Amino acid sequence: MTRVYLSLGSNIRPRHHLNAALESLNAQDTVRLLGVSPWYETRPWGGIAQANFLNLACALETDLPPSQLLQITQGIERRLGRVRTLRHGPRTIDIDILLAGGIRLATPTLTIPHPGLLERDFMLVPLLDLAPNARLPGNGERLSDQRTHLIHHQIIRRLPGVACAGNGVRS
């Protein structure tokens, strides 16, 4: 089994779509959801005027290769009404693979680790909530050491009252 970390975000009925995406992931026979980070309210990334987002990370285990996991996450996005018309625009749900075990991958459709992981706080901070000792595949660098080097700071606040189901999940 491979430990995988995903980033989820939404700014169209975000609570509904994030919960639906987590339920869909949890319903997969090939995926075992291990934990969910706290939720964060974040400013939109990419320069498009739009509503704020809610973002979180989740940890799961799977035997699927990353390309098949990508098919599952994109299928969930489609079922939840994700339409890719405006780059960085509003969306019902966005699911990105951040890390997948020690895998490093660069294909036309998928890059692992996610290219934004070391640039965007809304990806890195929730991941570190789940896995504070996570390391970058390849060089083994601690991801927690990268917090001070983030380029994009979108987090407005950590949402109170949203339980973290990921206590004890470690990489």
pLDDT in tens, the chain (171 residues): 999 999 999 999 999 999 999 999 999 999 999 999 999 999 997 778 899 999 999 999 999 999 999 999 999 999 998 877 777 788 999 999 999 999 999 999 999 999 999 999 999 999 999 999 999 998 889 999 999 999 999 999 999 876 544 433 433
Q: Is residue 87 part of a domain?
A: yes
Q: Is residue 168 part of a domain?
A: no
> Using an 8 Å Cβ cutoff, are 29 and 83 in contact?
no
What's the pLDDT at 162?
Answer: 63
Positions marked catalytic: 82, 91, 94, 96
DSSP secondary structure, 58-127, as one string: EEEEESS-HHHHHHHHHHHHHHTT----STT---S-EEEEEEETT--EE-SS-EES-TTTTTBHHHHHHH
Cα–Cα dist 22/41, whole Å: 17
Q: Is residue 171 part of a domain?
A: no
Q: Is residue 163 part of a domain?
A: no
Degrees, nearest 5: CA angle 23-16-171: 45
Instruction: Report the CATH number at residue 18.
Output: 3.30.70.560
Q: Is residue 79 part of a domain?
A: yes
Q: Is residue 166 part of a domain?
A: no
Instruction: Enter the pTM of the model.
Output: 0.92
The tokens describing 110, both together, are: 């998928």
- Could you tell me the residue range of the domain that residue 12 belongs to? 2-158
Q: Is residue 165 part of a domain?
A: no
Cα–Cα dist 48/108, whole Å: 25
Q: Is residue 170 part of a domain?
A: no
Helix (H, G, I), strand (E, B) or coil at 10: strand
**Number of structural domains in the chain:** 1
